[in-house]
Amino acid sequence: MTVKLNEAALRHAKDLVRDGKVVRDERDDWSEHALPAKKETAWREKHGWEEYADWHLGIDTEANEETKARYEFPFGDYDKVHRCAVISLESRAAQYDHDEIAKAAKELLELIDTE
């Protein structure tokens, strides 16, 4: 598995934050705020894989482009960036030595906290 930073998703996330499309929730809220799998699938079927990719900071370059396995480290609910998701993904990225993604998440968190 080769997971790389999704630069387009990072730009998308920063744009959303700058546009005020952010939920400044608490660290442990992501388990409650993340879309359930069925709703996530319905959203992806409506919007397509390209938009789905825009909501994930990590891309597994070895996985098929049209599978959920390709996209990792979601940062929002497909409408707004969630602070709790960014905190969660920063921690997981660091835990699995995805340093570039962890650094990007930290940048995004700082933007959330200063905007």
8 A C-beta contact, residue 102 and residue 90: yes
Q: Along the 115 residues of the chain, how does pLDDT read in single tens digits?
A: 689 999 999 999 999 999 999 999 877 777 777 788 899 999 999 999 999 999 999 999 999 999 999 999 999 999 999 999 999 999 999 999 999 999 999 999 999 999 7
**52: CB partners within 8 A, 6+ apart:** 43, 44, 71
Domain boundaries, the chain: 3-114
Q: Kindly report the number of other CB atoms within 10 A of residue 37's CB atom.
A: 9
Closest CA to 59 of 24, 30, 94, 100: 100
Q: Which residue has the tokens 């995004």?
A: 108
